[in-house]
Structure 1
């Protein structure tokens, strides 16, 4: 299996890779998302360390069971060779209806086939009022004309 675009990344192909990842995550479908990762991909997600497809799917399943109405924007920060650095923000609410905005950074490494072999994510979140939400598109893929992270100052 391959997953274009392939490293080494150009500015355009790195930006495409980031948008494809954002689209996958906004599907909130662990089986779809995991297809972008190698079978032995290593993750650090906050303080949790997972490895391989089964553990990634389990983490994402737990995540989206508690993070309702999840909407994410990713932004290319830097790239070189087979590595990409990303900034992101996402909004969700919990079972009580409390909204949150999470901010973070990810470092990605890719195999020549375009599958991600390593994902290191640092994430912080803060409660927000429902009226302070910024990511208001219908669930699913962010519309192309929706503002990006820089537009919000995130």
Structure 2
């Protein structure tokens, strides 16, 4: 099955989980290859374009957001667009605190299946060790997430 537009629900769900697994590698060069060379991003209030800027952005992100563990779920899709909701947890070495970030992403894909546009809106919530979902050894896909957990 080719993972290129136009998307079916099955393809959209697979692309979301592939992206989740790729981001959980925390390897900026590998992640950047999933995007077109001219891909444009908005990540909160930061704007980047192309592989070099994506890699630099991710290096800086994961230098700050250590022990990063991400979960993505399909929210909606059309022929060449996917919307996801996400949750991730990370340790901030500067203030020695755990955080959970959650929000939505809007993705647009090129005909070859690589992402050409990514827009992310997210919020950070400081949490304590006991509130963490994605502890070591936990499969991020097995965690029950619902409004009662936000």
Per the TM superposition, whether the score is higher than 0.5 is yes
Q: What's the offset of the Cα at 1:147?
A: 2.4
Q: Which residue among 121, 143, 146 is the counterpart of 1:147?
A: 143
Give the length in aligned residue pairs: 148
In structure 2, distance between residues paired with 1:148 and 1:83: 26
Per-residue CA distance 1:113-133 (angstroms, 9 max, x = gap)? 001000000011010011110
1:5 aligns with 2:3: yes
TM normalised by structure 1 equals 0.90
RMSD: 1.8
Give the equivalent residue in structure 1 for 2:99: 100
- CA shift, 1:151, in A, is 9.0
Paired position in structure 1 for 2:42: 44
Match of 1:53 among 48, 51, 54: 51
Q: Distance in 2 between matches of 1:5 and 1:101?
A: 30
Contact 1:90 1:103 in 2 (8 A): yes
Aligned: 1:109 with 2:105: no
Alpha-carbon separation, structure 1, partners of 2:81 and 2:33: 18
Contact 1:107 1:121 in 2 (8 A): yes
Give me the whole-angstrom Cα distance separating, in 2, the residues matched to 1:93 and 1:20: 24
Aligned CA distance change for structure 1 residues 103 and 145 (closer, same or farther; 3 Å): closer
* Higher RCO, 1 vs 2 (CA within 8 Å, ≥6 residues apart): 1
What whole-Å deviation, never above 9, does each CA across 1:97-117 have from its counterpart, x for those lacking one?
Answer: 200000110000001100100
Q: Which residue of 2 aligns with 1:121?
A: 120
Partners of 1:11 and 1:97 in 2: CA distance: 40
Alpha-carbon shift at residue 150 of structure 1 (Å) = 4.3
Structure 1, unmatched stretches of 5+, are none
